Amino acid sequence: MEQKREKLHVLCCEHHSQMRLSQILLKIGEKSWQMAAYVCGVPGCFVRYNPSCGYFITTQDGTQMEGENVPRISCPQDNQLMYLTEVRPQQRNYRLWRCPECNMSRTNEERSRPSQA
């Protein structure tokens, strides 16, 4: 199902740069596996996004860091973890979040609405 999805326009929640879809190694405890995730291209940034996991941070070897402060914005329609898709430099606090499933969007300035994109 995830391969059929079109690529999302995901921004790094830290640097606001466009993330690229990649295969990463994720380690949690003794287990490790490959998974598709969006990765930030800024050197030294280990912010990741996956529609199932939302935003998360790994170490250089792929270990998921616990307790890191990353946004957890849930879609009010289907409870999926949303991704950051737009910021506006002229409006410092503006953030547009989009749901990877239903495409609903919301900002920190307005109520949720279906996306027109």
In this structure, is residue 12 part of a structural domain?
Answer: yes
In this structure, is residue 76 part of a structural domain?
Answer: no
Distance of CA 97 to the CA centre of its chain: 9
- Domain span at 48: 2-57
In this structure, is residue 88 part of a structural domain?
Answer: no
In this structure, is residue 38 part of a structural domain?
Answer: yes
In this structure, is residue 91 part of a structural domain?
Answer: no
In this structure, is residue 28 part of a structural domain?
Answer: yes
In the chain, the number of structural domains is 1
Nearest to 68 by CA among 83, 59, 55, 57: 57
Per-residue pLDDT of the chain (117 residues; tens, 9 = 90+): 344 456 899 999 999 999 999 999 999 888 999 999 999 999 999 999 999 999 999 998 898 887 778 999 999 999 999 999 999 989 988 999 999 999 999 998 764 445 554
In this structure, is residue 17 part of a structural domain?
Answer: yes
